[in-house]
Structure 1
Amino acid sequence: MAKQKKRRRNERQNTVTMAVILAVVTLVLYAQVVTFDFINLDDPDYVYNNQYVRTGITAENVTWAFTLHGPGQWHPLTWISHQLDCQLFELDAGMHHLVNALLHLTNAVLLFFLLVKMTSALAPSFLVAALFAWHPLSVESVAWVSERRDVLSMLFWLLTLHAYVAYTRAGGWRNYGWVVFLFACGLMSKPMVVTLPCVMLLLDGWPLHRWDRLAPLEQNIASRRFKLGYLVGEKIPLLAMSLLASFFTFLIQMQEQAVGTFSAYPLTSRLANAMLSYATYLRKLVWPHDLAFFYPYPDTVNMFWAGVSALVLLGLTALCLWQLRRRPYLLVGWLWYLGTLVPVIGLLQVGGQALADRYTYIPLLGIYIAVAWASVDLLGWLHSGQVKRQVSWQWGIATIVLVPCLLVSFQQIGYWKSGVLLYSRALEVTEDNSVAENNLAADYLLLGKLDESMRHFKEANRIAPDRIQPYMGMASIAEERNDPVRALELLRQAEQLNQHEMGKPIIAQRLAWLLATAPNDSVRDGAEALKLAELCVRLTQLRDANCLHTLAVALAENQQFPKAIQVARQASTVARQNNQQKLADQINLSVEGYRQEQPFRDPRWLPK
């Protein structure tokens, strides 16, 4: 009895020690993110240019978070977490990054405790949690502020599974209620969680062994089906919630015109790219040397390698089925990987990427589990009866695997320090990447490096001539070079190419500003400027200070000075509410000119 108590005490101490090691190393690995800035990819929409986020927690902002709107997905808890960050830290990018890192750390520890709770196996549980925490493929989900949805949804994914384990052991509606509540929180963080009920069904087989208890193998097939039906039935409420969240997300993505058509992405290309993506993620898991924030969808998918990938996937599936009775964790881990990737594998193509590192944040857990437990089984077979030698080999293998992960991850995290580093790295490891070219050009423009900026905008335009962003960027360079005629020409081209509702207010504001404030009489057109400014204000629902400022400028150009003063004051108020004090000061200065009945002229074009 005393020996059993001592053994249990030692196991608890070892568990806590491993959890502390996991947390400390993860924190040290990601500590550098506190010095990082926001990047101009999604972060403007998710944080610093979003008036519903940057103004913090308010009743209006929380209500907005729960409505169906873009960008991207329906994830109200993610919006609220960003609002809370702005409430606490304003726009201190380092603190926003730190919150992501702390959530990731918490997820790693929760994963470790979950696996220990389900299996009582310390070494493989630690290896899985460490691979999750320290592998380079996890970096994108943590080091990118806009991917708060990944780390937050994983938090609720793991909490839901903890509650589910409690429910499977004790039963009861209260425990099941916690499962439903935490799962709902996960869906409201990122719809990627929709596959969790299917993962629960896999875990029922191993390591929870609920299929064994409910339907022993010696019973007939009819009884086994009945028992399987019971397991599926208890998850029907969760599956219904998944369908609802998927429907909301689909509506938002359709509104944003983000869903690719079958003419642009034929079914054969989607299936082939899906096979390649499954195989590519496994390759990057083993050899993560060419990671990038964006992988362009190829013009033509290589059908030969897609076929090879499909055969490899079928072969691995057959192997897992063959080993099902003796090593059920192989099939559980493999189906976890295949199944949880389904929402983002490209059968419903959203965006222009072929694949993304962030998509593996949840799915690769299945591969980690399969590999970790297979390693333990292999060592047990090689060193049968030699427990100490098995343990030594387990930790030796873990060290050999994890140290390179730490080194590569540390380097990969560093690329997220700034947009210039991130996009330059993407151009090194990918080809014809118009998104990286465009974003790098935009960063160089902000840095005042106009020649470098123009070079990358032109390259982005060469790769994707139907995208409006390079035209908008080159128009900005023309304005900086005091060439409003060229700027107007480029903005007109962007207006003609634009096919997205989200682009309309941006283009309208830029055109209206140019037509109202240019020094050239041949460029200015007060009537059109007023029309475009009114469109911009209407589309942004009086919430955008820049659009209101532009409307005031257009009114002044049309000699409507009293109304211009009124709108300018409204614009200044909105700017202050959105924590845009510098813009508010600029607007207030323009009011003085309106009082003297002087139209506004862009100071960049005034004689020096």
Structure 2
Amino acid sequence: MSWLKLNRWEVLGLLCGIFAVYSPVIRFEFLNWDDTWYIINNELIQSWSFEGLYGIATEPVARNFAPLTIFTFLIEHTLWGMWSGGYHLTNLALHAINAILAYALLRRLTGSSLLAWTVSLIFALHPVQVETVAWVSSRKSLLSATFMLASFICWLRPDRTSRDEGFGTLWLILGLLSKASAVVVPPIVIAYDVLIARRSFAESFAKQVVPMFFSVLLILVTMSAQTTIVGGVRGHIGASKLWILAIDATILWRYVGMSLYPTNLCVLYDPATTGIAHWIALSVIGWVGVGVWTFRTRHSNPVPLFCFVTWLFLLFPVLNLFPITTLMNDRYLYLPLIPFFVGVFNVAGVCWMKIRSTESSSLARRIPTPAIAVTLGVMLCGLYTLRTLDYLNVWANPVTLWNHARQITPTLPVVQIQWAITLESEGRRDLAIQTLQRAMEQNPDSGDAERIQSKIDLWTETSQVTPES
């Protein structure tokens, strides 16, 4: 409470910005993209019976073991049934909490309230966050981020106590029960200890034995839940790890571009995976250069290397080294935006100070560094807010979502399938069948082809049934 009182204006500014931009989500509908599994047809959240509670604690849902996330849906189903606005309101509240936690963490790590608040506001209002905030099924990302940030607040401090470590481990466990991506907390803590707090690797590793035990345990449970591979984009499933790493090198640069200048955002992407040898080579060279530069400057300025390593760790669970059905998504950047922009502002500040120190920069010396930081922060926040406001309504309902997706990635069979499902639910069955027939002409893989044909057969047969029969 004392911290909130001391930082009340910064917190109030974050809350006002978030609710002003994202408040329309309360009117948004459920989507026919995982919401059906997590909410609409999920029997586990429909009662407080012993069988239901046991199922929440032990059963994976939609191939994910996230019992704490499912438990929040049980609470909400009890409160407002199938009113989608209540679920969206919870997502919005969690996003606001995460922005405040990010500010609290960065305020202590950087020692600058201006930098901490600017990065937290960018994190809150950036358009790539729309998917996570406006999609009910991204609750697991929001909830796990809450506990991960709380764990970081406890762990990432040079003078932490055993009490901090105990609470840090507790928050990590809750994060793991919300989403498996929280497994990256221990390696990030080790990176902080070694690079920032200047502890020895052995000392830091010893402190992370218990957190890593719970992380490995959760990984094993989650991997056992991945028994089927359906939906999404599956062309990369079964590929060699070397090939996956090569594609990841190009996708990571796309994430850099999306973070700095987000455009053509979409629910699904279709990144090129063939005929891009030159892009792979350039990407690898670029990342080697970034790694070498940040490593060489680690003694004089360890922040860029720590931000780079943290960014990579936060993205590691979604780099398809453990196969998932999409190569890239907006929601994968939810927490990585924080270290990314801390690093960007740190490098920009260092460059500006070097410019001011040169003899020919008399004009630059008259412009204070905070003025440059404020100007850059205002410009970025304004740009991202406008883009978020423009993109937000895409996620209002299935029609707007998949109509937008088929304009951005029209060649993806799964996009055409979801668009057809949306049309059929709107009573436009003939058009839905035509959409699937066109999708079949795009040579989908065997899984999509079987799914498309089964729906064509079902809808055609249903259309032929007369009321008398």
TM-score of the aligned structures, taking structure 1 as reference length: 0.71
Say whether residues 1:185 and 2:179 are aligned partners: no
Correspondence 1:171 to 2:161: yes
* Residues 1:606 and 2:458 aligned together: no
SS at the partner of 2:189? Answer: helix
Using the TM superposition, give the Cα deviation of residue 16 of structure 1 relative to its aligned residue in structure 2, in angstroms. Answer: 2.5
What's the secondary structure of 1:346's corresponding residue? coil
Cα drift, residue 374 of structure 1:
2.5
Separation in 2, partners of 1:363, 1:297:
20
Equivalent of 1:472 in 454, 460, 464: 454
Moved more, 419-428 or 44-53: 419-428
TM-superposed deviation, 1:299: 6.2
Residue by residue, what CA displacement relative to the aligned partner does 1:294-316 show, whole Å, maximum 9, x if unpaired? Answer: 12465636222112111111111
1:136 and 1:408 in contact (8 A); partners too: yes
| Aligned partner of 1:319 among 293, 297, 305 | 293
The separation in 2 between residues aligned to 1:434 and 1:12, in whole angstroms, is 49
CA distance in 2 between counterparts of 1:241 and 1:390 reads 44
Task: Report the CA distance shift for 1:378/1:416 in structure 2 as closer, same or farther (over 3 A).
Answer: same
CA 261–373 in structure 1, closer or farther in 2 if over 3 Å, else same: closer
Comparing 196-205 with 327-336, which one deviates more in the overlay? 196-205
Q: Distance in 1 between matches of 2:270 and 2:58?
A: 31
Mapped to 1, the partners of 2:115 and 2:274 lie a distance apart of 41
1:460 aligned to 2:443? no
For 2:159, the aligned partner's letter is: R
1:336 equivalent among 289, 310, 331: 310
Q: Write the mapping of 1:482-561 to structure 2, written as runs, cut at 5 A.
A: 482-483=464-465
Task: Compare 464-473 and 145-154 and name the one that shifted more.
Answer: 464-473
Structure 1 counterpart of 2:31, one-letter code: I
Deviation for aligned residue 1:381: 4.4
Once superposed, what is the RMSD of the aligned Cα atoms? 2.6
Alpha-carbon distance in 1 for matches of 2:366, 2:74: 52
Secondary structure at the aligned position of 2:82 is classed as coil
- Structure 2 gaps, min length 5: 358-363
Q: Secondary structure at the match of 1:333?
A: helix
**Do 1:201 and 1:232's aligned partners in 2 also have CA atoms closer than 8 Å?**
yes
Structure 2 residue matching 1:422: 3-state secondary structure: helix
Q: What SS class does the counterpart of residue 368 from structure 2 fall into?
A: helix
2:327 corresponds, among 354, 374, 378, to 354
Alignment of 1:72-91 (within 5 A): 72-91=63-82
In structure 1, C-alpha distance between the alignment counterparts of 2:247 and 2:431, rounded to whole Å: 34
Counterpart in the other structure of 1:256: 228
1:236 and 2:209 aligned: yes
Aligned residues of 1:108 and 1:129 also touching (Cα < 8 A) = yes
Per-residue Cα deviation, 1:4-52 (whole angstroms, up to 9, x for no partner): xxxxx9x997833122111110111110101110111110100011111
* CA contact 1:105–1:133 (8 Å) conserved in 2: yes
Distance 1:277 1:376, change over 3 A: same
Per-residue deviation, residues 489-534 of structure 1 (Å, max 9, x unmatched): xxxxxxxxxxxxxxxxxxxxxxxxxxxxxxxxxxxxxxxxxxxxxx
Percent of aligned pairs sharing the same letter: 21
Residues 137 and 360, structure 1, Cα contact 8 Å, conserved in 2? yes
Aligned to 2:361: none
Return the offset for 1:264: 4.1
2:10/2:117 contact within 8 Å kept: yes
Indicate yes or no: 2:385 matched with 1:394: no
Cα separation, 1, equivalents of 2:324 and 2:206: 31
The residue that corresponds to 2:197 in the other structure is 210
Counterpart-to-counterpart distance in 1, 2:334 and 2:205:
26
**How much does 1:389 deviate?**
2.7
Query: Deviation per CA, 1:575-596, whole angstroms, max 9, x where unpaired?
Result: xxxxxxxxxxxxxxxxxxxxxx
Which of 370, 373, 380 is the matching residue for 2:346? 373
2:44 to 38, 48, 52: 52
- Structure 2 residue corresponding to 1:102, chosen from 93, 96, 120: 93
Distance 1:248 1:301 in 2: 37
Kindly indicate whether the alpha-carbon contact (under 8 Å) linking 1:269 and 1:301 is maintained by their aligned counterparts in 2: no
Deviations 1:248-285 (A, max 9, x none): 111111x2246979884234431222112111111111
What is residue 114 of structure 1 aligned with on the other side? 105
Q: Deviations over 1:423-448 (max 9, x none)?
A: 12122222411111111111111111
Distance 1:186 1:139, change over 3 A: same
Cα distance between partner residues in 2 of 1:61 and 1:421: 34
SS in 1 for 2:298: coil
Pick the structure with greater CA Rg.
1
Show the counterpart of 1:407: 386
In 1, the alpha carbon distance for the partners of 2:375 and 2:7 equals: 18
Change (3 A) 1:58 1:111: farther
Name whichever of 420-429 and 86-95 sits farther off: 420-429
Q: Is the Cα–Cα contact under 8 Å of residues 156 and 192 in structure 2 kept in the other structure?
A: no
Would the alpha carbon gap of residues 133 and 390 (structure 1) be closer, same or farther in structure 2, given more than 3 Å must change?
Answer: same
Give the Cα separation in 1 of the matches to 2:372 and 2:144: 35
For 2:152, give the aligned amino acid. Answer: L
SS in structure 2 at match of 1:231: helix
Q: Which residue of 1 aligns with 2:183?
A: 194
Greater Cα shift, 71-80 or 463-472: 463-472
**Distance in 2 between residues matched to 1:97 and 1:290, nearest whole Å:** 24
CA gap of 1:343–1:397, structure 2 versus 1, over 3 A, is same
Q: CA deviation at 1:165?
A: 4.3
Establish whether residue 246 from structure 1 lines up as the match of residue 219 from structure 2. yes
> Structure 1: 5+ residue runs without aligned partners?
1-8, 215-226, 484-604
Secondary structure of residue in 2 paired with 1:354? coil
SS at match of 2:299: coil
| Counterpart-to-counterpart distance in 2, 1:148 and 1:20 | 24
- Structure 1 residue 182, shift from structure 2 partner: 0.8
Q: So what's the TM-score if we normalise by structure 2?
A: 0.91
More displaced 10-residue stretch of structure 1: 117-126 or 473-482: 473-482
Q: Secondary structure at the match of 1:73?
A: coil
Say whether the 8 Å CA contact 1:423–1:439 is kept in structure 2: yes
Q: Distance in 1 between matches of 2:53 and 2:367?
A: 55
1:441 to 420, 438, 442: 420
Q: Could you tell me which amino acid in structure 2 is paired with residue 330 of structure 1?
A: P
| 1:607 Cα offset (Å) | 2.5
* 1:326 to partner: Cα distance: 2.0
Write out aligned runs for 1:265-344 (5 A): 265-296=239-270, 298=272, 300=274, 302-344=276-318
User: Which structure is richer in relative contact order (CA contacts within 8 A, separation 6 or more)?
Assistant: 2
Distance (Å, rounded) in 1 between the aligned partners of 2:22 and 2:256 = 24
Distance in 2, matches of 1:387 and 1:280, equals 37
In the alignment, structure 1 residue 363 sits paired with structure 2 residue 321: no
Maintained 8 Å contact 1:292/1:425: yes
**Structure-2 residue corresponding to 1:575:** none
Q: Is the 8 A contact 2:424 2:432 kept in 1?
A: yes
CA distance in 2: counterparts of 1:176 and 1:333, whole angstroms: 22
Q: Take 2:343 and 2:180, find their aligned partners in 1: how far apart are those partners?
A: 25
TM-aligned CA distance change 1:439 to 1:233, over 3 Å = same
Deviation of 1:75 after TM superposition, in Å, equals 0.9
> What is the distance in 2 between the residues matched to 1:267 and 1:165?
32
**C-alpha distance in 2, partners of 1:423/1:261?**
21
> What secondary structure, in the 3-state scheme, does the structure 2 residue paired with 1:327 have?
coil
